[in-house]
Amino acid sequence: MSSAYYAQDVPDTHRPYVAAPDRHQKLEYRRVGSSGLLLPPLSLGLWYNFGDNRPFDTQREILRRAFDEGITHFDLANNYGPPYGSAEENFGRMMRTDFRPYRDEMVLSTKAGWDMWPGPYGMLGSRKYVLASLEESLRRMCVESVDIFYSHRADEGTPVAETIGALDTAVRQGKALYAGISSYSPERTAEAVAVARELGTPLIIHQPAYSMLNRWPEQGLFDVLRGSGMGSIGFTALAQGLLTDKYLSDDDPERATARPSFDGRVLTAQTRERLHGLGAIAQERGQSLAQMALSWAIRPGGVTSTLIGVSSIAQLEQNLEAAARTDFTDDELARIDELAGHTEEVDLWEESASIG
């Protein structure tokens, strides 16, 4: 039996989900650029812990609690899993059984750009791939439309006008409400913005990798976004685990490199020394290093929202505490910059960010 069939046709035996009545009073929602859309400061990314590699009931518990705590935005992509597509299928099952009554209270996003199926039409930025991928994502997620549809990465081989034109078509067809891009360079972002404006479907949001150890959006991208009326939502705010307490004294660095896309070469002695310094600042603030990293990402001057990826309710609750601590003194910011502001070697998404 395929997972798509399972998500849609197997009856659910769990008790009905009723959302917390005070769910919208727990976080302060932020405007996405000059658009009318609001996002919570923390959004839940379903990249790695919501495929078939994790128990479905655990995933369901996390999503229910996240929504109860005011996280209204769930971020997916066609190839999230593992395996590819399974995160969308698992979410679709929860949409059908748990979240259908709350669909209009949620912001759902998905993306197309990375490899999804074999052959020349299963990746990158062609109109054929982008629109076909969206159709498949909607089917897996058990929804008629998403709120944000992204071009997941820039494609040097496809004209920007073709990729952005596909996003425009998705919006005009009613299969997405807003369009966005991810990991586009400042220059290609500006080009995409101009195309989108001419078509009449403005881009409202950019999703870049952004953390204390990966500052590339500060080198021009944020300026382009502000000038274009676009918001931003960061990913890898914890640098794939580097910015967590468990690696400050970990004698086995293999645990830090177990997840996809992590380059273990960044875990150098110099990086560890910087992490210890950042950990000391976090301790002074009464936070874990992970909490401070999230607070820093969504501080004034940072991103509109940042994605969190959690594997337990305990992790979710610890991350939520960070949303209330976006206050940094000038001294704290200066010390963080001294330790982490020039760590160019710690860039886990350099290739995708620099294309174009």
Q: What is the 3-state secondary structure (H, E, C) of 258-287?
A: CCCCCCHHHCCHHHHHHHHHHHHHHHHCCC
Q: Which CATH number is 167's domain given?
A: 3.20.20.100
Residue-wise pLDDT for 82-130, tens only, equals: 999 999 999 999 999 999 999 999 999 999 999 999 999 999 999 999 9
Predicted pLDDT at 345: 44
Omega cis (within 30) before 82: yes
Domains in the chain: how many in total?
1
Take residue 18 and report the two structure tokens written for it. Answer: 């009723």
Range of the domain at 204: 23-354
Predicted pLDDT at 341: 73
In a domain, 304, yes or no: yes
Average model confidence (pLDDT) for the chain? 90
In a domain, 6, yes or no: no
Residue 110, strand partner residues: 149
Query: Among 301, 291, 292, 307, which residue's Cα sits nearest to residue 234?
Result: 307
Residues of the chain scoring pLDDT < 70: 1-14, 249-266, 342-356
Place of tokens 């004294």: 249
In a domain, 17, yes or no: no
In a domain, 1, yes or no: no
In a domain, 18, yes or no: no
Stretch (H or E) spanning 199: helix 186-199
Predicted pLDDT at 348: 47
Calpha distance 242→225 (Å, rounded): 27
Predicted pLDDT at 298: 98
pTM of the model: 0.91
Take residue 65 and report the two structure tokens written for it. Answer: 């609690």
In a domain, 15, yes or no: no
In a domain, 283, yes or no: yes
Q: Within 13 A of 90's CA, how many CA atoms are on the CB side? A: 30
In a domain, 2, yes or no: no
Omega cis (within 30) before 11: no
